Amino acid sequence: MWLLVGFAGQGLFASRFIVQWFKSEMEGRSIIPVAFWYCSLGGGIVTLAYTMHLGSVPLSLGQATGLVVYSRNLYLIFRERAALRAGSGTSPA
């Protein structure tokens, strides 16, 4: 069971690069879409659960540190979007 959780976390985490590659190809330039950060956060949470189950403090600390970065990036993205909406006078769709 836990081995499956570990693979699922790593799979979700690795999928962020496929998402980024696909979006960059669509845009014709290098871009990091919001989905990249969601994949990072989701994969990081699942992998953190797995590393905690293993009792590996170094791996758990590494995963937890990443979660702070992914969460902060999502916060900055949504804060910017909210400011743009407020500035343009439109309501969110």
Neighbour-count burial of 34, counting CB atoms closer than 10 A to its CB (0-12 exposed, 13-18 middle, 19+ buried): middle
Residue 93: inside a domain: no
**Domain span including residue 39:** 2-88
Q: What is the pLDDT of residue 8?
A: 96
Number of domains in the chain: 1
Ranges of residues in the chain with a pLDDT under 50 are none
pLDDT value at residue 89 = 63
Within-domain flag for 30: yes
Per-residue pLDDT, 65: 97
Give one word for 89, left, alpha or beta, with left for phi > 0 and alpha for psi -120 to 50: left
Please tell me the pTM assigned to this model: 0.84
- Amino acid found at 25: E
Say what the pLDDT of residue 87 is.
86
